[in-house]
Amino acid sequence: MIKLLTALSLAGQLMHPAATTITVSTAAQLTSALSAAKAGDTIVLADGDYSGAFVATKPGTASAPITLTGSAKAVLHDPLFNPGDTDCPSGQTGYGLWLQGASYWNLKGFTVKDSKKGIVLDGASHVTIDGVTVHDIGYEGVHFRKSSAYGVIKNSAVYNTGKEQPGYGEGIYLGSANSNWECYGTGGGTAPDASNYVQVLDNKIGPGVAAEGIDIKEGTHDGIISGNTLDGTGERNQNSGDSTIDVKGDGYRITGNKVTNPYLDGFQTHNVWAKTGCGNTFTGNNFTLTNSQGYGINSTNQSSCISQKSPNVIGASNTATGGKGVSKTPVTPGS
C-alpha cells in the first residue's frame, strides 16, 4: 500500500510540477512570468507601474489554479494600442490584461487603468477576479468573451469607462452581441458566445461608466448578478445605453443590487435574438431614479417571453423611489 501511495504521489508530481511563487517588479518580469506560468503558480506584483501588453495563455487546473495578485498600488496599463488595427472585429491590442485560453486563474487586488480595454477574457473559463480595480478605460472595463464560462468577478470596482467610445464603455460585459459571433461565437460563428454561468457579486460599478454598468448579451444564460452597487452618473445614452443593467440573456438571477442615477431605467430586458431575454428573476433590488420617465425595471419584451418562453419574474420585493416606480409590468407577489 505504501508503495502504491508513493507511486500515486510521484505521478501527481509529474502531472503538476512543483508550484512556485515569483515576485515581479517590472513590466519585463511580469511578461516573462505570465509566459512561464504553470498550474499552481502564484505571481506577486510589487507595488509600482507596469506598462505593456500583458497576455496570459497558460491554463491552470481546478485543483491548481494560477494566481496573479498585488495591491491596488500595483497598476497595469497598456498605452500601446493602435485604434486602426483591424483584427476581428476590432483592434485586439491595448488590453490592460488579456487572458487567452487561460482558464483557472485567480486575479486579486491589483489595478488596471489607462488602456483601450481593461481585463479581457477569451476562452478563459473558471477565472475569479477578486478585489481588482479597473478605471479610466477607452472601451469596456471587464469582458467575459469567447465562451469564458463559470467566471466570477467580486468585491471589485469599475469606473470611468468608455472614455474613447462611450457607446462601448460598459463596466462589466458578459458574452458578445450576435453581430460579433463570427468572431467570438460557437459553431463556426453561427451560435452564441457561450460565456455562461458568470457571477457578478458585490462590486462597485460607476460612476463614469458611459454605457451600461453591466451588459448581459443574448445567448448567455444562468448567471448571477447580486449585491452590486451601481451608480449611473455619467451614462451617455449612446448605442442604446440608457439603463444601468441591460439583460438580453436567459435564466439570470438578479438580486439585492442597489442602483442610483440611471440615465433612464435601472434595468431593461430585451429580445434581440431568438426570443432571448427571458426566464430571468429580479428580487430585492433597490432603485433611486432621477429621470421622471424611468422605471426600476423596464421589461419591454415581457409579452414575447410569456408567449415563447418562461416570463421574467419581477418580484414585489424590488423597491424604487422617483421616476415611474418599480416596474412597467406587474410584479409578482411573494418574490
Task: Encode pLDDT of 167-219 as tens digits.
Answer: 999 999 999 999 999 999 999 888 999 999 999 999 999 999 999 999 999 99
What average pLDDT does this structure show over 12-21?
A: 68
pLDDT for the residue numbered 62: 98
Could you tell me the three cell numbers for 40? 499552481
Q: What is the pLDDT of residues 223-277, one digit of tens each?
A: 999 999 999 999 999 888 899 999 999 999 999 999 999 999 999 999 888 889 9
pLDDT band at 9 (very low <50, low <70, confident <90, very high): very low
What average pLDDT does this structure show over 83-88?
A: 52
Q: Exposed (0-12), middle (13-18) or buried (19+): which is 229, by Cβ within 10 Å?
A: middle
Q: Exposure pattern of 167-184 as b/e (b: 16+ CB <10 Å)? A: ebbbbbbbbbbbebbebb
Nearest to 291 by CA among 251, 215, 237, 249: 237
Spatial contact of 320 and 286, defined as CB atoms under 8 Å apart? yes
Distance between CA atoms of 161 and 159, rounded to whole angstroms? Answer: 6
pLDDT band at 7 (very low <50, low <70, confident <90, very high): very low
High-pLDDT (> 90) share of the chain, %: 80
pLDDT for the residue numbered 221: 97
What average pLDDT does this structure show over 4-33?
A: 73
